């Protein structure tokens, strides 16, 4: 990153994430029905809200790209889709861990769960289409798909309001949510939102470098994403497992995905810098 603001922003976000995680695991009151396993809520819900925000930004960037064919809008579109898929992946991993303890099964074809899976598949399809070709037509088709895919976001959000589902009913903004729990949740939602935007900022910078290198390759020619997480065997028998295994297992799985993605971006950055140096030498 060339911006001098990135490092201070990184420090602030790291502090917010650490503080939010501490509140979620140690300070928030224990929920009467679910016990400590409910604390997965403080990672699961903020990941979902951040993913939805990123998909909304992807929708805006895709509309702008279809309108103006701006390379910057195209870069923001692929960036927010990719980072949004990472956060949505965390939702789809932490949710089943919670469900295994709460319902005794990893997955049910509940409307909220099903529409979330469809959302994830739509944006993965967008990324596959977006990367299938560097031609302009591919980017246009991907942008059109992104506009269509975003229609599923309000459906996911409203699913447990419109339909009878196994998923817990909405708690945010209702008197059913303990004020102490609400405080911890909002701190984590802010922390995860800033975390997602910071990753998107970094990923956008990489995408712009990649675009410039691709354009340079084209001019010269004219002139002459392993498994996300492996669930440990301790989850296989719900009746004989300490509930804390589910709680910490969900947090480890979530941060395993986030850290794995950050390592992937660092590897991509090194490769781009190496390619840029080679292009300058030649």
* Tens-digit pLDDT profile for residues 46-83: 999 999 999 999 999 999 999 988 889 999 999 999 99
Give the pLDDT of residue 230: 42
Residue 45 pLDDT > 80:
yes
Contact between 54 and 101 under an 8 Å Cβ cutoff? The reply is no
Cβ burial 88-118 (10 Å sphere, 16+ → b, else e): bbbbbbbbbbbbbbbeeeeeeebbbbebbbe
Q: What is the pLDDT of residues 148-178, one digit of tens each?
A: 889 988 888 877 777 666 566 565 655 566 7
The pLDDT of 110-133, averaged and rounded, is: 85
Residue 54 is classified by DSSP as H
Q: Which residue has the higher pLDDT, 69 or 195?
A: 195
Mean of pLDDT values over 236-254:
68
Give the separation between CA 263 and CA 256, rounded to whole angstroms.
Answer: 10
Query: In terms of pLDDT, which residue wins out, 182 or 134?
Result: 182
Residue 231 has a pLDDT of: 45
DSSP state of 230: -
Task: Tell me if residue 35 falls in helix, strand or coil.
Answer: strand
| DSSP-assigned letter for residue 282 | -
Q: Is the pTM value of this prediction over 0.85?
A: no
Q: Check whether 225 has a pLDDT greater than 60.
A: no
Residue 228: pLDDT above 50?
Answer: no
Residue 197 has pLDDT above 60, yes or no: yes
Name the DSSP class of 31: B
């Amino acid at each position: 990153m060339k911006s001098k603001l990135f490092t201070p922003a990184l420090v602030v976000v790291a502090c917010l994430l650490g503080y939010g995680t501490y509140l979620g695991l140690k300070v928030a009151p224990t929920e009467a029905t679910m016990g400590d396993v409910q604390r997965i809520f403080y990672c699961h819900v903020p990941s979902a809200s951040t993913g939805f925000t990123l998909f909304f930004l992807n929708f805006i960037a895709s509309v702008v790209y279809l309108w103006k064919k701006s390379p910057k809008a195209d870069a923001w579109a692929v960036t927010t889709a990719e980072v949004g898929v990472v956060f949505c992946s965390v939702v789809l991993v932490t949710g089943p861990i919670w469900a295994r303890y709460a319902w005794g099964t990893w997955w049910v074809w509940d409307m909220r769960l099903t529409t979330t899976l469809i959302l994830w598949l739509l944006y993965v399809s967008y990324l596959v289409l977006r990367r299938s070709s560097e031609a302009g037509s591919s980017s246009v088709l991907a942008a059109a798909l992104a506009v269509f895919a975003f229609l599923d976001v309000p459906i996911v959000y409203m699913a447990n309001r419109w339909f009878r589902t196994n998923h817990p009913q909405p708690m945010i903004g209702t008197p059913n949510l303990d004020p102490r729990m609400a405080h911890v949740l909002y701190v984590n939602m802010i922390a995860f939102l800033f975390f997602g935007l910071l990753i998107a900022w970094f990923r956008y910078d990489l995408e712009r470098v990649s675009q410039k290198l691709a354009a340079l390759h084209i001019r010269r020619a004219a002139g002459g994403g392993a498994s996300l997480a492996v669930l440990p065997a301790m989850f296989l028998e719900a009746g004989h497992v300490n509930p804390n295994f589910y709680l910490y297992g969900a947090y480890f799985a979530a941060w395993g995905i986030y850290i794995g993605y950050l390592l992937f971006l660092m590897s991509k950055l090194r490769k781009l810098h190496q390619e840029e140096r080679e292009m300058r030498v030649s």
